[in-house]
Structure 1
Amino acid sequence: MPLYKTISPNSQTTVKIWKITESFDDLMASVNLKPESLNRVMGMKSELHQRGFLSVRRLLQEFGYADTDLFYDENGKPHLKDGRQISITHSFNFSAVIISDSVIGIDIEKQRDKIQIIAHKFIDYESDYLDKTADDYVEKLTMIWCVKESLYKLFATSGLSFKQHCLVIPISDGENETVAWIDYENRKCRYNIEFLEFEGFTCAYAIA
């Protein structure tokens, strides 16, 4: 079943994860798209991205929403017409949507060794507790990236830097939650973070 997992971090927040096993045609047949969404998906060069886009619309249906209920602001942040908060992500054959009464952000990433090449671009404070020789170094880097991407989506502010402005507190072994901070100009914001790993992927979400 493509609906892979449903998580309820609290009574006002729900996460739904979709495993994309359907073909493009099957996904297209299962959703109703507004004209601008249809133009957008048909203009994508990658079928992987097309299927990711369409699977997000399937997830909206699982929440009881239609494509027409979703719109984006000038910063590219998604919103729902009823005022509830939403964040969206997809990576390869997984997608996820989180909806809440609180401000939220979510990200899924595939765990890949090449993240080590760009680690210097998004790791600062975290280097104090990361062990490059550890067997789980790639997994830890991926988790930190997911958290910072979630914060970026949540904050939706031009000029926010993963490296300079986002801090992820160390996670104890066996735990699946932590705290992260955004320290941007005169604003210091604390967020609760939860994450999970599955089939070589990491998903993290931030809740204000």
Structure 2
Amino acid sequence: MPLYKTITPNSQTTVKIWKITESYEDLKRGVNLKPVALERVLGMKSELHQRGFLSVRHLLAAFGYEDADLFYDENGKPHLKDGKQISITHSFNFSAVIISDLTVGIDIEKQRDKITVIAHKFIDYEFDYLNKNATDYIKKLTAIWCVKESLYKLFATPGLSFRKHSLVIPFAIHDSETVAWIDYKNRKYRYNIHFLEFEGFTCAYAIA
């Protein structure tokens, strides 16, 4: 069963993670796409992205929704027609959806050494406590990226900078949660963040 994991952080929120093992054709057979979504998936050059897109529609079905229930605003933020809050992510062979009565954001990333090349683009304060020689350095960088990406999706404000406007307080990988802040236009916003690791991937989700 490709539904890999279900998490219920609170009574108002559910996270579902999908492991993408099916072929594109198998995934496509199982969903009913509205015309704009079908056009979008057919226009994707990568089958990996196509399968990620379709697996998200299977996750929607696991929540009791169809593709027709999902729409995007002018900033690309997803919404559900019934007013529930939603955030979506996929990376390689995993995808995830979080649905809640509260504002939410989620991200999955594969843990890869190449993240060190772009670390300076999304990290500032965090360099004060990170140890580049530590065995968990890549995992921590990936966790920080996921935390900041989930906050970016939750905050949904164009112009928000990962490096300048968000920060993650010191944490240990085994903690599975941390606190992060958005400092934007002279206002500070505090968020409790949960994260988990599985099969070389990291997932983080933020709930307002």
Matches within 5 A, 1:154-193: 154-172=154-172, 174-193=174-193
Gaps of 5+ in 1: none
How far off its partner does 1:173 sit? 5.4
Say whether 1:9 aligns with 2:9. Answer: yes
User: What secondary structure does 1:141 align onto?
Assistant: helix
Matches within 5 A, 1:38-57: 38-57=38-57
Q: How many pairs does the alignment contain?
A: 208
The corresponding residue for 2:65 is 65
The corresponding residue for 1:142 is 142
User: What secondary structure does 2:37 align onto?
Assistant: helix
**Quick one: structure 1 residues 109 and 168, their matched pair in 2 at CA, closer, same or farther if it must change by over 3 Å?**
same
The corresponding residue for 2:29 is 29
In the alignment, the residues of structure 2 paired with residue 30 and residue 204 of structure 1 have an alpha-carbon distance, to the nearest angstrom, of: 28
Stretch moving more, 12-21 or 173-182: 173-182
The corresponding residue for 2:111 is 111
The corresponding residue for 2:94 is 94
Amino acid in the other structure paired with 1:82:
D
CA deviation digits over 1:73-127, x for unaligned, max 9? 0000000001010000000000000001111100000000000000011111101
Identical amino acids, percent of aligned pairs: 80
Q: CA RMSD in A?
A: 0.7
TM-score, reference length from structure 2: 0.99
User: What secondary structure does 2:79 align onto?
Assistant: strand
The corresponding residue for 1:151 is 151
**Quick one: structure 1 residues 44 and 131, their matched pair in 2 at CA, closer, same or farther if it must change by over 3 Å?**
same
User: What secondary structure does 1:195 align onto?
Assistant: strand
In the alignment, the residues of structure 2 paired with residue 75 and residue 174 of structure 1 have an alpha-carbon distance, to the nearest angstrom, of: 34
User: What secondary structure does 1:160 align onto?
Assistant: coil
The answer as to whether partners of 2:140 and 2:173 remain within 8 angstroms in 1 is no
Off by >3 Å, runs of 4+ in structure 1? none
Amino acid in the other structure paired with 2:158:
S
In the alignment, the residues of structure 2 paired with residue 99 and residue 196 of structure 1 have an alpha-carbon distance, to the nearest angstrom, of: 17
CA deviation digits over 1:46-98, x for unaligned, max 9? 00000000000000000000000000000000000010100000000000000
In the alignment, the residues of structure 2 paired with residue 46 and residue 18 of structure 1 have an alpha-carbon distance, to the nearest angstrom, of: 19
The corresponding residue for 2:18 is 18
CA deviation digits over 1:136-183, x for unaligned, max 9? 000000000000000111111111000000011111352101111100
In the alignment, the residues of structure 2 paired with residue 148 and residue 47 of structure 1 have an alpha-carbon distance, to the nearest angstrom, of: 27
CA deviation digits over 1:17-67, x for unaligned, max 9? 000000000000000000000000000000000000000000000000000
In the alignment, the residues of structure 1 paired with residue 53 and residue 100 of structure 2 have an alpha-carbon distance, to the nearest angstrom, of: 21
The corresponding residue for 1:196 is 196
User: What secondary structure does 1:130 align onto?
Assistant: coil
